[in-house]
Structure 1
Amino acid sequence: MTTPATPPITEEDIAEFLIHTPGFFERHAELLTAVQLTSPHGGRAVSLQERQAEMLRDKIKLLEQRLMEMMRHGNENMLIADRMLRWARQMFLVARPVDLPAVLVSEIRSQFSVPQAALKLWDVAEVYAGEPFAQGASEDVRSLASSLGVPYCGVNAGFDAVQWLDDPEAAASLALIPLRAGAAGPAFGLLILASPDSQRYQAGMATDFLERIAELASAALSRVRDD
């Protein structure tokens, strides 16, 4: 009768044994000093302690990089908030409502380094119906603005509103920002920001900042609306 061959011990068997035998290295501490591992930095053999030290240094380096990134984002957010305040201040200083749209656009270009920007409004007070900012918004544009729950960011897909810009051909990426009297309801205007950089306004980018722009612009422009 042939005795069945004993299956070879695998690495998984050894790992399972060590997991379920926590006192093994306490009884055989000398093995820890004899363990040799391959270093990821040059492929040389190092002791277990040295390998653990390398892993710890790598973790510290990663945490430092994350901390620096958080600090960078914090500084960027502070700069954006400061620019937002300066932009809002300029709108507060506008004495005549009729001047608001032009100041809003010029200041957003200046404060945020936006190459091109344009604004059109509808449903304005009758006294402002003949102003340039109240002309040129087609029904398609109005429907598009009202359909946007959040600002659109992405490539220039041939939107009618692009023609409001001084140089439509130079608009590679866009942000279309609908203006509303409240959180819901139809839009009463559309603000368009454009850049020749195709990556400046990307699909999927966070729109929190642009939504704050929309809220402030909508509130300021309530002075020219037909309420």
Structure 2
Amino acid sequence: MSFGVQGITEADIANYLANTPGFFERHAELLAAIQLTSPHGQRAVSLQERQMEMLRERIKGLELKIVEMIRHGQENVAIADRLHRWTRALLLAANPADLPDVVVRDLKHEFMIPQAALRLWNVADAYAGLPFAQGVSDDVKSFTASLGLPYCGLNSGFEASQWLDDPASVTSIALVPLRHGAVEAGRGAIGLLVLGSPDPTRYSADMGTEFLLRVGELASAALSRLIRL
């Protein structure tokens, strides 16, 4: 490859060096003579020293990613342990009438949820007079049936928020539909689980709902013992 003296560009030089691997073998003295500007100041450093700095920066970045992966792994293990303890409590509940209280109480305890409540409908006659089967309007039932996924976001005066102990203090809310059998929206709705927090960012519209979906499925399976078949 040859260049006209006036037409040579940096791109031409870069292409030439990339396509001529033997250049620095024939001119090894250039590697020791090349000086680059250090990113940590205006001093000039050798090519070897600059490469070492780049390697150190890359290694530091990889170390930070590893630390982040370890942290996420530890958090996932902790969540799995809490979910295991909560599920175990549901399985150990001998009296079906106690299940709604166990769902709410242990969920609040394990996941540090400030407020939680649930209501069920279409319950068996033996449980129809209990508190968890009261105060559910047709609007709430229709809204729950329409939910394909749990709702997370600001508490904009949802009727179901009134089930919480202190609804006035709740700024963000999660509404988890409970279903018996089919899980598609509009089918099999048997109740609604409400989680509330005074922290407006606790349940945000852009958060993932996969975990809440699993909680709803587990709670639904346990509470199905109360439903009229």
Instruction: Give the TM-score normalised by structure 1.
Output: 0.91
Q: Which amino acid aligns with 2:178?
A: L
| 1:2-30 residue CA offsets vs partner (Å, 9 max, x unmatched) | xxx97542222221222222222222121
Give, in angstroms, the shift of residue 43 of structure 1. Answer: 3.5
Q: Deviation string for 1:141-179 (max 9, x for gaps)? A: 222222222212222222211111111121111111111
Aligned to 1:121: 120
Deviates more, 1:41-50 or 1:75-84: 41-50
The answer for unaligned runs of 5 or more in structure 1 is none
Whichever residue aligns with residue 179 of structure 1, its letter is L
Measure how far apart 1:188 and its partner are.
1.1
Task: Summarize deviations over 1:98-117 as a string: whole Å, max 9, x none.
Answer: 11111211111111110000
Alignment correspondent of 2:219: 217
Alpha-carbon distance between aligned partners in 2 of 1:188 and 1:43, rounded to the nearest angstrom:
69
Matched residue of 1:200: which SS?
coil
The count of residues paired between Structure 1 and Structure 2 equals 223
Give identity over the alignment, percent: 61
- Counterparts of 1:46 and 1:158, CA distance in 2: 64
Tell me the distance in 2 between the aligned counterparts of 1:44 and 1:125.
81
1:108 paired residue number: 107
- What pairs up with 1:194-209 in 2 under 5 angstroms? 194-209=196-211
Give the match's secondary structure for 2:180. coil
Distance across 1 between alignment mates of 2:227 and 2:177: 15
SS at 1:53 equivalent = helix
Describe how 1:1-227 pairs up with structure 2 within 5 A: 7-182=6-181, 183-184=183-184, 185-227=187-229
Return the alpha-carbon distance in structure 2 between the equivalents of residues 21 and 220 of structure 1. Answer: 70
Deviation track 1:56-105 (CA, whole Å, cap 9, x = no partner) reads: 11111111111111111111111111111111122222222111111211
Aligned partners of 1:206 and 1:160: how far apart in 2?
23
Q: 1:197 to 1:10 in 2, by over 3 A?
A: same
Greater CA drift, 141-150 or 98-107: 141-150
Structure 2, unaligned runs of 5 or more? none
Distance 2:170 2:20 in 1: 66
Query: Over aligned residue pairs, what C-alpha RMSD do you find?
Result: 1.8
Deviations 1:200-226 (Å, cap 9, x if unpaired)? 112222222212211110111011001
Output the amino acid matched with 2:57: D
Q: What's the secondary structure of 2:194's corresponding residue? A: strand
CA drift at 1:53: 0.9
C-alpha separation in 2, matches of 1:55 and 1:63: 12
Letter in 1 for 2:21: P
How far, CA to CA, are the matches of 1:136 and 1:50 in structure 2?
A: 73
Q: In the alignment, residue 122 of structure 1 is paired with which amino acid?
A: W
Q: Deviations over 1:123-150 (max 9, x none)?
A: 1112222221112222222222222222
